[in-house]
Structure 1
Amino acid sequence: MPEFRTRYLVGAPLSAVAEFHWREDALACLTPPPLRLEVLQREPLAEGSRLRFRLRLGPVAVMWEARHVDVDPQRGFTDEQVEGPLLTWRHRHAFFPLVGDYTLVEEEVRYAYKPGWRHGWTRVVFSPLALRFLFAYRRWALRRALERA
């Protein structure tokens, strides 16, 4: 099963990083253009909570439902795809406090593609290169939101 991992520092205390991820607009803030996110149903982030959304790339729209597990208000959470374009998607968000009001953010994604030519596009949209771009944007967006002077 493919994996993607990244880690980076954010110049903000752990409490601010955690609070950001509990905001209702967090996923929208972390979604890069040209993707557009439309939230259809949201439960407050908690163990077993669900989030249903539509992700658009131009004229293509994909439904996605995620379930949150391993939720710790200060240490992070995992979202697992219940319904969506991939066979599996498990994304762990972990936060670690550092000295000087810095936080280490670690993100790990384990995923698998659905078989068949009809799902071939997911091998491009969720390729290792595309994931590097997605998570580079997420890093930039999180820092921009929290490191403003």
Structure 2
Amino acid sequence: MKFKRSFRVSAPLDEVRQFHQDSKSLAAITPPPVVVRVRRAPESLQDGAEMDFTLWLGPLPIRWVACIEDVSQAGFTDRQRRGPFSAWVHRHSFLALDDHTTEVVDEITARLSLNPLKWIAGASMWVTLPVLFAYRAWKTRRMLERTG
């Protein structure tokens, strides 16, 4: 399965990249009613670093461990090591359109688990990706764009 979403934010590339590389941003851009509890996260993203967190979908906890790869000025990739999918690769890319505008591109390739409970969790998450990423775009703009 593949998913791709892009949006523009009126903020410089470095600011957008730093925001997305900060583990605290994950909870900030996750829409309610989902709650994110970060169990372990690197202070700075670098190849081989791992993030360990739990997504709470109502009363249902989903433990997720992601390995960070391909960190550069242009973005980074998180690859699920543990979670509801049998495979999940999420590329976060950042492109400066000018000095004050950045395009953010999220590309996800995933495969549902054959485990029935994980399949249900993964399929439920997959169908909500358009809403999740629309919220993330809105929240990112709200947090980074300067007004007046």
In structure 1, what residue type is equivalent to 2:144?
Answer: L
- Offset from partner CA, 1:93-125 (integer Å, 9 cap, x none): 000111251001111000010114333242122
CA 1:125/1:24 → structure 2, altered by over 3 Å: closer, same or farther? closer
Match of 1:114 in 2: 113
1:29-79 CA-partner distances (Å, limit 9, x unpaired):
12111100011111231111000001101110011000000001x211000
| More moved, 83-92 vs 109-118 | 109-118
Q: Report the counterpart of residue 97 of structure 2 in structure 1.
A: 98
Asked if 1:23 corresponds to 2:22, the answer is yes
Q: Secondary structure at the match of 1:32?
A: coil
1:142 CA drift (Å): 0.7
Report the Cα offset of residue 7 of structure 1: 1.1
Give the structure-1-normalised TM-score: 0.92
Structure 2 CA distance, aligned partners of 1:110 and 1:76? 16
What is residue 59 of structure 1 aligned with on the other side? 59
CA distance in 1, matches of 2:50, 2:3: 23
TM, length-normalised to structure 2? 0.93
TM superposition outliers: structure 1 runs of 4+ over 4 Å: none
Partner of 2:74: 75
Measured in 1, the distance between the counterparts of 2:122 and 2:81 equals 16
Structure 2, unpaired ranges of 5+: none
Map of 2:125 onto structure 1 = 125
2:137 maps to: 139
CA contact (8 A) 2:13 2:99 kept: no
> What is the total number of aligned residue pairs between the two structures?
145
